[in-house]
Amino acid sequence: MRKSEQQEEENNMKIFAVIDTNVIASALISKHSDSATVLVSDSIFFGIITPIYNDGILNEYDSVLRRSKFNFSEERIKRTLETIKAKGIHSERLSSGEILPDPKDGK
């Protein structure tokens, strides 16, 4: 494979990731379009990152985004969750057996 073909293939690779709730909330409150969290959010919108989610993750996103300290509108929360579902992949939780730094992340 020529170097240019390899580089093009690498640029077209998809990224699949579970997006931490803090990343979603931070992207929504950021005033800087070049912040890391906004770049992650934009990457989801443009299909560079495919979010992996399940019902528990969506429920956590919904619960956190509704906290009064954020004051997000119902429409913004709904649009965010719909985008994640439309651009993402629903997956059931699988146990990896790994010990996670935050035990709540394993639930």
**Residue 93 has what pLDDT?**
73
Domain that holds residue 80: 13-91
Separation CA 22–CA 34 (nearest Å)? 17
CB 62 within 8 A of CB 28: no
User: Residue 43 domain-assigned?
Assistant: yes
- Total domains in the chain come to 1
Q: What is the pLDDT of residues 16-67, one digit of tens each?
A: 999 999 999 999 999 999 999 999 999 999 999 999 999 999 999 999 999 9
CB 53 within 8 A of CB 90: yes
**Regarding predicted confidence, which is higher, 103 or 92?**
92
